[in-house]
Amino acid sequence: MKQQNPTISNDLEPHSFDHEDQHLVVDGVRLHGRLTSRPHNVDPLAESSWIPSAMRRFRLKEWVGFTLLHPELSSSMILQEAHYLASSEIYVRDQYGMVEHSRNVRGGTLKLPHVLFPSTPVIDMKGYHISYDWADKPDGLHRIRVSVAATSKQAAITMNLELNGARASEPLSVSSPLPGGSMYTHKVAYPVSGTVTVGNRTYIFDSTRDLAVLDEHRSVLPYRTTWLWGTFATLTPDDEVIGANFAHRPIVPGTDEESCLWTSGACEPLTNITFKQATDHPLSLWRITSADGRLDVVFTPEDRKRVKHQLVLASIDYWQLVGTYSGSVAGREVKNVRGVCESMRARL
């Protein structure tokens, strides 16, 4: 059956479609705007273009990662495919410090799936395994499996986690042009249960308290890429996800950005985010606000992960801070909620 071309919209109201049948690109035309759910297939290279797909693939950056929110630790992991290079990173930061591991593999190796439900994206190397086991439906039970061996400098990390899709936040799903590129992102906060072991310390995740925030991207990034981004979320006693995802980057005027508030059963659009650092110290406080006042929080960093490379034609200056957020989300107080904040400045 021929797919129907979805409505294209750049206003702040998300538009809906049939998840089972719809694609990000239909008959060569890409959907733009805020969506009510993740399209079944999110292959951006299906869009019609005079530029050969092989050349566009070289510019395409794809990743699927998670941020884990637990009162005693901060953790993030990612599988990322740049097509000339693929890689994975993971860290766990608790009161004893930060444990980090990473691997690089040949470009094209990870083959991150455009159809997520069901799928099992994985990196499986000697001493390094991370896999996401996605159920058939978004509201199913999804799993994260991690087994990373210890090295001479870093402790081992093991994870066995279950994500409850039926109790997840409303999804953030946005497709937008960028100056010199394009972006698709999908983000959801999942109640999570299971265990995380780092070294000889095991932490229990409780799905009435703890969350795993998904970050999926399919983006053709401009050669000079910059962004500031952060996210945090918490579960209320009424089992509601309250939190935010916010970003500041160059955008095409009049198009949608990826900022949102997670409130009671909703993913509310958010725009015009300001990041302000108290001092130049790497671990100084940040205040993040929206122009309409619905987001007003202070981020208190605890630790900093940094990646910096300087090559002839390419460079990366990236850091991610782990810590806690306090302030207000749509008039509701949040206090000492775990989250992350990051900066990217790159020539890619």
Q: What is the pLDDT of residues 39-67, one digit of tens each?
A: 999 999 999 999 888 888 888 999 999 99
**List of long-range contacts for 70-75, beta carbons under 8 Å, 24+ apart:** 70/196, 70/203, 70/205, 70/210, 70/338, 71/209, 71/210, 71/338, 72/203, 73/196, 73/198, 73/203, 74/302, 74/303, 74/322, 74/323, 74/338, 74/340, 75/196
Q: Give the pLDDT of residue 8.
A: 36
122 in a structural domain: yes
Indicate yes or no: pTM above 0.85: yes
Distance CA 218, CA 106 (A): 19
- The total of structural domains in the chain comes to 1
Closest CA to 167 of 194, 188, 187: 188
Q: Residue 302: inside a domain, yes or no?
A: yes
Q: Is 122 exposed, middle or buried (0-12, 13-18, 19+ CB in 10 A)?
A: middle
The β-bridge partners of 298 are 287, 326
Closest CA to 167 of 225, 236, 247: 236
Q: How far apart are CA 167 and CA 190, in angstroms?
A: 7
Q: List the domain range (segments joined by +) for residue 130.
A: 25-347
Q: Name the stretches of the chain with pLDDT < 50.
A: 1-11, 17-19
* 348 burial via Cβ count (<10 Å: 0-12, 13-18, 19+): middle
Q: Is residue 10 part of a domain?
A: no
Rounded distance between C-alpha atoms, residue 180 and residue 8, angstroms:
20
Under 8 Å between Cβ of 228 and 289 = no
- The predicted structure's pLDDT at residue 312: 63
**Residue 14: per-residue pLDDT:** 59
- Give pLDDT, residue 202: 98
pLDDT at 21: 59
